[in-house]
Homo-oligomer: A and B are copies of this chain.
Amino acid sequence: MMKKSAGVEQSNPLFRQVYEFMLNRIERGEWKAHDKLPSIRLLADELGVHRLTVFKAYRALTENGMLYVKDKSGYYVSPGSRLANSVEEGAAILGYTVKSPMSDIQRKPVTYQFSQALIDPGLLPNLFLSDYVKKVFDLYPKVMGTYSSVQGDEELRTTLSRHFHDRYRLQLSAGELLITSGAQQAINLIAGIMLGPMDAVLVERPTYSVALDIFRRAGARLVPVEISPQGYDLAAVEELMRRHKPRMFYINPTHHNPTGYTVPAKQRKLLVELAERYRCLLVEDDPFRDMHFEEEPPTPFFAYDTEGWVIYISSFSKYVAPGLRICAVACRYPFMERLIAAKSLADNGTPLLNQKIFLHYYTSPRLQQHLGKLRIALQVHKEIMEEELAAAGWEWTAPQGGLNLWVKLPDTVPVDTLFVRCMEQSISFVPGEICDPLGEMKSWLRLSYSFASEGLLREGMRRLTAIAREIEAEGRRGE
Using a CB–CB cutoff of 8 Å, the interface residues on chain A facing chain B are 4-5, 7-9, 11-13, 15-21, 23-25, 27, 30, 46-48, 56, 59-60, 63-66, 78-81, 83, 88, 90-96, 98-100, 103, 107, 118-122, 124, 126-127, 129-130, 133-134, 137, 141-150, 180-182, 184-185, 188, 193-199, 210, 213-214, 217, 219, 221, 243-245, 247, 279, 281, 307-308, 321-325, 334-335, 338, 341-342, 344-348, 350-354, 357
Contact B141 A119 (CB under 8 A): no
A107 to chain B, nearest CB (A): 8
A284 to chain B, nearest CB (A): 17
Contact B323 A351 (CB under 8 A): yes
A344 to chain B, nearest CB (A): 5
B-side contacts of A94, CB under 8 Å = 193-196, 247
Contact B64 A338 (CB under 8 A): no
Q: Which 8 A-B pairs have the closest CB atoms?
A: A21-B198, A121-B145, A124-B145, A8-B65, A121-B142, A130-B137, A144-B321, A17-B197
Q: How far is the CA of A143 from the CA of B199 in the complex (A)?
A: 40
Q: How far is the CA of A12 from the CA of B107 in the complex (A)?
A: 34
Residue A103 contacts which of B60, B148, B150, B193 (CB distance < 8 angstroms)? B150
B-side contacts of A197, CB under 8 Å = 16-17, 20-21, 24
B-side contacts of A307, CB under 8 Å = 90
Contact A193 B141 (CB under 8 A): no
Chain B minimum-CB-distance residue to A335:
B93
Contact A64 B196 (CB under 8 A): no
Contact B341 A8 (CB under 8 A): no
Q: How far is the CA of A346 from the CA of B218 in the complex (A)?
A: 12
20 contacts between A and B (CB under 8 A): A5-B78, A8-B78, A9-B83, A12-B66, A16-B19, A20-B219, A24-B199, A25-B245, A47-B198, A91-B334, A93-B281, A121-B146, A124-B145, A126-B141, A133-B133, A144-B322, A144-B357, A148-B323, A324-B351, A347-B347
Given A17-B219, A198-B21, A334-B91, CB of A345 within 8 Å of CB of B184: yes
Given A17-B198, A196-B20, CB of A47 within 8 Å of CB of B142: no
B-side contacts of A120, CB under 8 Å = 145
Given A16-B197, A93-B338, A96-B341, CB of A348 within 8 Å of CB of B147: no
Task: Give the most central of A48, A95, A198: most B CB within 10 Å.
Answer: A198
Contact B13 A81 (CB under 8 A): no
B-side contacts of A124, CB under 8 Å = 142, 144-145
Task: Give the most central of A145, A245, A357: most B CB within 10 Å.
Answer: A145
Chain B minimum-CB-distance residue to A116:
B147
Contact A347 B119 (CB under 8 A): no
Q: How far is the CA of A228 from the CA of B23 in the complex (A)?
A: 36
Residue A184 contacts which of B25, B80, B133, B348 (CB distance < 8 angstroms)? B348
Task: Give the most central of A184, A213, A323: most B CB within 10 Å.
Answer: A323
Contact A338 B96 (CB under 8 A): yes
B-side contacts of A145, CB under 8 Å = 119-122, 124, 126, 321-323
Residue A63 contacts which of B59, B66, B245, B308 (CB distance < 8 angstroms)? B59
Residue A100 contacts which of B16, B95, B344 (CB distance < 8 angstroms)? B344
Given A214-B345, A325-B347, A354-B354, CB of A122 within 8 Å of CB of B100: no
Q: How far is the CA of A141 from the CA of B125 in the complex (A)?
A: 10
